[in-house]
Structure 1
Amino acid sequence: MAVVKPFLCVRPKQEFVSRVAALPYDVYNRQEACDEVKKEPLSFLKIDRAETQFDDSVDTYDARVYLKAKELLEGMIADGTFVLDEERAYFIYELTMNSRIQTGIVACSSIDDYNNNVIKKHENTRADKEIDRITHVDTCNAQTGPIFLAYRDNIVIDQEVEKARKNDPIYNFTSDDNIKHTVWKISAIDSIDKIQKAFATINEIYIADGHHRAASAVKVGMHRREANPAFTGQEEYNFFLSVLFPDEQLMIMPYNRVVKDLNGDSKEVFFEKVSKYFTIEKKTEKVSPSRKATFGMYFDHEWYLLTASKEIISDDPVKGLDVAILQDNLLAPILGINDPKTDKRIDFVGGIRGLEELERRTGNDMKIAFSMYPTSIGELFAVADADKLMPPKSTWFEPKLRSGIFIHRI
């Protein structure tokens, strides 16, 4: 059973929310983050990425950066930019992108559920990336970026969400990227009770996005338990900020690939090698694959459709993923990309950027591009249920949850 609790939220005053709300900290490099904060001084990015408050002589991971984040957060609470709720509540967070709506419950999830695999993972995490967010959470004494979780649709939760959506929202704004953000608060005791009990009947919840933030929040909680042997398990550090979405509402976009060279082969030799595993059809238009086990390939200003042969398609939840089919039968054996996590010859392009970005990259710093059919949420669940891990860069979720709308103090 999953423990999903209402919480005391720190959140922006209504008049500030559209200015405070920011994309996740890890979608920007340092210069982009600095530019964003300069453009909007209230952006929560100045707290999530407090190196924006220093010149380049101060390292991103300098202790002063985290202390500055704490100072800025406490300052925005003190000056009234943020308000502190006096009652525990759930929130409904609805995002609308191109007329497609996804509606989630903002709540706090249990670090024990994470450790006991009620909350399931499909990615490995990197220690260096964890340390950054561990230090940020621990220093700020707050979780500032929600973890994106998914669950199999539940009728009771759906009913409570629909009931709450009939009320006036507490926030309703459209961000610069044309995503509409609408938030309702659920504080009625009977609704809270029904939602909490409904989640208690759910045995599997899945991390869709935010593995590093989740792992970091859990490790902070575990460290605080060690420092407080008399802990009860109800302290705020035992729970982490989440937005939980029903699976049927989620859309995963493709995560496309670009490669620097043909691994020393001529075009003719490369095509001959590829044809052993895939049929190759030249196309007159851009190729956005419309079904599994097919791939677009852009090379030398021309598009091709690749169709995997039956011999290389697997029923295994990992090996059967399109990203694995391409990696195991083309990128590794033909192009020599054996470890896509570390190989500098490959890069990854989120589907939100479109096929034009693949054409641009091949005309700039890359030689060949591959457009993918997106991984499905069912495939993500199957990998996690099998206690396996997806290959790197398997999923690209849109729209992105904003940071700064909801904060959980620990």
Structure 2
Amino acid sequence: MAKIIPFKAVRPARDKVALVPSRSYDEYTPAELASQLDYNPFSFLHVLNPAYVNQLKISTATRFKAVRTRYEEFKDEQVLQKETQPVFYLYEIQSRSRIFTGIIAGTAIDDYKNNVIKKHEDTLPYRVEYFKDYLHQTGFNTEPVLVTYPEDTDLESWITAKKHKRPLYLFSSLNRDKHTLWRIKDEEDIRWLQEKFEAMESLYIADGHHRSASAEMLYEEDKPSGNENLNYFMSFLISENDLKIYEYNRIIHDLNGLSKEQFLKALSSDFTIENKGQQLWKPEAKFQFGMYLDGEFYALYLKETSFNSVFEALDAQILYEKVLHPLLGITDLRNDSRIEYIPGSKPVTVIKQMVDEGEYEVGFTLFPASIEEIKHLADNNLIMPPKSTYIEPKIRSGLVVYEI
């Protein structure tokens, strides 16, 4: 049984809604960031990076306090406004290729602790601690955890009907995505939604493992305060059929002392190798791997495809066990400086360019993991290898804020 709650969100004023929300801070190039901060006074980036104007180098604690101050200024200036009653939101993101629709709600820390909300990724303690401190000092979170639920035809029919109603917001962002937000404030709708999720045995975190872990840590530290908002964290709940799961591809700086010929020969013991020349080839099924090396693309077909577990059969784990570790000498996928990761949402030409420029020696492309693989691992308390999935949608900061 999963518990969700409506909450008194903070959101942009109607007349500024197209100007406030931003992508995640680290997704901007320096030039894009400067442009937004120089020419858009309403961008939420001013809250996230309040020291920009003076280019100050400040301590973490000072920065967090400045974020809180700028956030309160946005509210005082009515750039951001708070709901007068707890609500849910129905949110649609329409890109050039896909439409994502889900529900923004508060999800229970107890469900996270009791494994009703299940995980498939490990977390880094320092990142969890850092974001916990951020939440504690700033008092808000604007990046919902992406949580998926099993397909539910009644819920999909309800969503379809609600999308015919007049929205609260309808705007386009600079990347040409269209965003539509409906406010769900009717008590009957709220009760019906809560009952639907109470009937679900499990929910699954698709993206946001560090954010949810930080929310739990903050709850454990601050629960004596009696703040009820600590009992929940903001989530974007979306049907598992609506997720877009990409792979994370890998690029490596060197061949670990091997020549090209030695490396190809070593690969041939586990893979059938097909030279694709200049064809921009990517895997078309499980147990296939693409490789770009010395100006040419290769298809690698795994010879032995029988495994004892779903974990061992993950393409990311196979690449590690057959190539990255034994041949290229990479043991720590998180921290080894010789490996970098490229989300599968980017074209394979990005990998080609990075290798051609000479900083990297070889690139590998993978076939994306399936939702069934992700759920199986989560159900069995197993963790995927680092950087196994890149999952969309990505939610914009500053559109809906959960105050703690």
Which among 156, 160, 171 is matched to residue 173 of structure 1?
Answer: 171
Q: Which position in structure 2 is the counterpart of 1:269?
A: 262
Structure 2 counterparts to residues 154-193 of structure 1, below 5 A: 154-193=152-191
Please tell me whether the aligned partners of residues 332 and 338 of structure 1 are also in contact (alpha carbons under 8 angstroms).
yes
Instruction: Work out whether 1:149 is the aligned partner of 2:147.
Output: yes
Question: In 2, are the aligned partners of 1:48 and 1:144 still within 8 Å (CA)?
Answer: no
Secondary structure of residue in 1 paired with 2:101:
strand
Which consecutive unaligned segments of at least 5 residues does structure 2 have? none
Contact 1:154–1:198 under 8 Å retained in 2:
no
Helix, strand or coil for the counterpart of 1:73?
helix
Residue by residue over 1:85-114, the C-alpha shift from the partner in whole angstroms, topping out at 9 and shown as x without a partner, is 112111011111223111110000001111
Change (3 A) 1:133 1:33: farther
Q: 1:333 corresponds to which residue?
A: 326
CA distance in 2, matches of 1:14, 1:82: 9
Q: Using a 3 Å threshold, how does the CA distance of structure 1 residues 380 and 33 change in structure 2: closer, same or farther?
A: farther
How much does 1:300 deviate? 0.6
- Conservation of the 8 A alpha-carbon contact between 1:143 and 1:217: no
Aligned pair partner of 1:252 in 227, 235, 245: 245
C-alpha contact (below 8 Å) 1:179/1:399 kept by paired residues: no
Q: What SS does structure 2 have at the residue aligned with 1:19? A: coil
User: Which residue does 1:116 correspond to in 2?
Assistant: 114
Q: Report the more deviating stretch, 106-115 or 170-179.
A: 170-179
Are 1:107 and 2:101 an aligned pair? no
State how far apart, in whole Å, the 2-side matches of 1:212 and 1:42 are: 28
Which residue is 1:14 aligned to?
A: 14
Residue 213 of structure 1: aligned partner: 211
Counterpart position of 1:85: 83
In the comparison of the two structures, how many residue pairs are matched?
402
Deviation at 1:352, TM superposition (A): 2.0
Change (3 A) 1:57 1:48: closer
Q: d(CA) in 1 for partners of 2:49 and 2:126?
A: 16
Secondary structure, in 3 states, of the residue corresponding to 2:311?
coil
Deviation, 1:212, is: 1.1
**Separation of aligned partners in 2, 1:247 and 1:51:** 39
**Residue 283 of structure 1 aligns with which residue?**
276
Cα distance per residue 1:131-187 (max 9 Å; x no partner): 322122112222221111111112332232122111111111221222221111111
SS of aligned partner of 2:211: helix
More displaced 10-residue stretch of structure 1: 211-220 or 269-278: 211-220
Question: Contact between 1:253 and 1:397, CA under 8 Å: does it hold in 2?
Answer: yes
Matching of residue 398 in structure 1 with residue 355 in structure 2: no
Q: Deviations over 1:259-296 (max 9, x none)?
A: 01111011111111100011100114111111111011
Q: 1:346 to 1:102 in 2, by over 3 A?
A: same
Deviation at 1:51, TM superposition (A): 4.6
Q: For residue 23 of structure 1, what is the aligned residue in structure 2?
A: 23
Task: Write out per-residue CA displacement over residues 365-407 of structure 1, whole angstroms, 9 at most, x where no aligned residue.
Answer: 1010011111122211111111010101111123311111111
| Alpha carbons of structure 1 residues 161 and 66: separation in structure 2 relative to 1, 3 Å | same
What residue number does 1:302 align with?
296
Q: Distance in 1 between matches of 2:97 and 2:356?
A: 33
Q: Is the 8 A contact 1:147 1:210 kept in 2?
A: yes
Taking the aligned partners of 1:96 and 1:315, their CA distance within structure 2 comes to: 40
TM-score, with length taken from structure 2? 0.95
SS in 1 for 2:345: helix
Is 1:236 the counterpart of 2:220? The answer is: no
Normalised to the residue count of structure 1, the TM-score between the two structures is 0.93
C-alpha distance in 1, partners of 2:31/2:335? 23
Offset of residue 330 of structure 1: 0.7
Q: Do the aligned residues in 2 keep the contact of 1:46 with 1:53 (CA within 8 Å)?
A: no
Structure 1 unmatched ranges of 5 or more: none
Structure 1 stretch displaced more, 131-140 or 363-372: 131-140
Q: CA 1:315 to 1:192, structure 2 compared with 1: closer, same or farther past 3 Å?
A: farther
Letter in 1 for 2:276: K
SS of the residue aligned with 1:172? Answer: strand
Q: Secondary structure at the match of 1:130?
A: helix
**Which residue number in structure 2 is paired with residue 4 of structure 1?**
4
Equivalent residue of 2:94, what SS?
strand
How far the C-alpha of 1:219 sits from its partner, in A, is 1.6
What is the DSSP-based 3-state SS (H/G/I as helix, E as strand, rest coil) of the residue aligned with 1:253? strand
CA contact (8 A) 2:243 2:393 kept: no
Number of the residue aligned with 1:57: 57
Look up the match of 2:370.
376
Q: Does 1:409 align with 2:403?
A: yes
